[in-house]
Amino acid sequence: MAIVEVKVPQLSESVAEATLLQWKKKVGDAVAIDETLIEVETDKVVMEVPAPAAGVLVELVAADGATVAAEQLIARIDTAAVAGAVAPAAAPVAAAVAAAPVAAAAVSNNSKAGVAMPAAAKLLADNGIAAADVSGTGKDGRITKGDVLAAAAAPKVVATSAIPTGAPTKSLPQVAAPTVSLANSMAGRPEQRVPMSRLRARVAERLLQSQSTNAILTTFNEINMAPVMEMRKRMQERFEKEHGCKLGFMSFFVKAAVHALKKFPVLNASVDGNDIVYHGYFDIGIAVGSPRGLVVPILRNADQMSFADIEKKIAEFGQKAKDGKLGIEEMTGGTFSISNGGTFGSMMSTPIINPPQSAILGVHATKDRAMVENGQVVVRPMNYFAMSYDHRIIDGREAVLGLVAMKEALEDPARLLFDI
């Protein structure tokens, strides 16, 4: 027997612990080297834990949902064992599952369909849901944590006729209804309590930190997007053919932001105690929505990137955020951020500064509006930009002129080529 230990990957210096999500293998399964065994969620990213060697998974030391630290032992692999030769009951996790009444019934079934994963078994017991009432979407029909959460979130009809007044809510028998009208749903006043993910909790912490430590003000301006839209339309086909990616608006926004930050360096600075730190580089954070919450990956040295480089990197960030594959190093640092709420239809907002940065640009939806030019009313595609800034180090003059510089660059894109 040659045992290889599986440990939690090294976490970043600012991350003390992480949470195990769901094991993708069970005790007795064969694993290949570098095959993903489980994902680990920190307050910043979700990391995969690959198998360090090929063999058979013989023990799960930590169960789904466990809180773990860097380099902590979570499983063992026998490189000399044969798949199927290890009894699942030998694993601590399997034993823990057998201790739960609902899970015991599932494990006793010889069919894999209807068998609850460890974390799912606990949720079944906590919510009083029978495994037979949940459709499993995991491998071979196994019930996952997500299946139980979905079942728990489904509307319930409460049988109240035989329940005395004042009886505890938890003791009320619940019967799942195939269809529930809106009136019944509102009358039942259903609730669901779900713990925050580590990422969501971290986002909440940082937003409160930003509001409590920064003197946040926001300045607005309107941008005529017609010149950028015309240039984009004229160059789109050639750009895509040459670079293999589409020409979007975000590359223009990034270029315009860098253009303004060069003119007003304090917008690119940060506060450190009683000092102002002026950064001689431009690392632009791009706010990206993901299934796990808001993440802000960084475009390093954005001033040195071409339009194509920016578009490709943003597309890469978007896909990684969707798949939960963004690395810690990709979201660390940043000197200025851009949040494009316009992709979701936002017309106006006051973005919150991403600490320790001192300013953030909010971009919104572009809409045709009636504008007055030379005494005439004309229709123009307008976008309202908002820049929130830390008034401790940035005065209104720099904030307003910085936003004006972005406006002028976008309304006359040739300025970006000549840096004027």
Digits of tens for pLDDT over the chain (420 positions)?
Answer: 688 999 998 876 667 788 888 899 988 899 999 898 998 887 667 788 999 999 999 999 998 888 888 889 999 999 887 665 555 544 444 444 433 333 333 333 444 456 676 666 766 766 667 777 777 776 667 777 677 777 766 544 433 333 333 333 333 333 333 444 555 555 667 888 888 877 777 778 878 888 888 899 999 999 999 999 999 999 999 999 999 999 999 999 999 999 999 999 999 999 999 999 999 999 999 998 777 777 899 999 999 999 999 999 999 998 988 887 887 788 888 999 999 998 889 999 999 998 889 999 999 999 999 999 999 999 999 999 999 999 999 999 999 999 999 999 999 998 887 777
Residues 6 or more apart whose Cβ sits within 8 Å of residue 410: 223, 225, 227, 228, 252, 253, 256
Residues 6 or more apart whose Cβ sits within 8 Å of residue 56: 28, 29, 30, 31, 77, 78, 81, 82, 83, 85, 86
96 and 241 fall within a common domain: no
Domain for residue 182, yes or no?
no
268 and 377 fall within a common domain: yes
Q: pTM score, two decimals?
A: 0.61
Are the C-beta atoms of 295 and 325 separated by less than 8 Å? no
Domain for residue 382, yes or no?
yes
138 and 268 fall within a common domain: no
338, containing H or E segment: strand 336-340
Tracing tokens 């595609």 back to the chain, one arrives at: 381
Q: Which two tokens stand for residue 365?
A: 């939806």
Are the C-beta atoms of 297 and 265 separated by less than 8 Å? no
145 and 9 fall within a common domain: yes
Domain end position, chosen among 121, 153, 185: 153
Residue 94 neighbours by CB distance under 10 Å? 20
CA distance 89 to 365: 57
Domain for residue 63, yes or no?
yes
Domain for residue 164, yes or no?
no
213 and 91 fall within a common domain: no
127 and 232 fall within a common domain: no
Tracing tokens 């080529």 back to the chain, one arrives at: 417
Domain for residue 177, yes or no?
no
Q: What is the pLDDT of residue 333?
A: 86
Q: What is the pLDDT of residue 321?
A: 85
Domain with residue 59: its CATH number is 2.40.50.100
Q: What is the pLDDT of residue 358?
A: 96
CA distance 159 to 177: 11
138 and 265 fall within a common domain: no
Domain for residue 346, yes or no?
yes
CA distance 252 to 410: 7
Residue ranges making up the domain that contains 334: 199-418
Are the C-beta atoms of 351 and 380 separated by less than 8 Å? no
Q: What is the pLDDT of residue 154?
A: 59
125 and 203 fall within a common domain: no
Task: Determine which one of 133, 140, 395, 419 is catalytic.
Answer: 395
* Helices 307-323 and 250-263, packing angle to 10 deg: 120
Number of domains the chain contains: 2
126 is catalytic: no
233 and 295 fall within a common domain: yes
Q: Which two tokens stand for residue 95?
A: 């034993």
Q: What is the pLDDT of residue 258?
A: 97
106 and 224 fall within a common domain: no
Domain with residue 336: its CATH number is 3.30.559.10
Q: Which two tokens stand for residue 333?
A: 């640092």
Are the C-beta atoms of 257 and 265 separated by less than 8 Å? no
395 is catalytic: yes
Q: What is the pLDDT of residue 169?
A: 37
Q: How many residues does the chain have?
A: 420
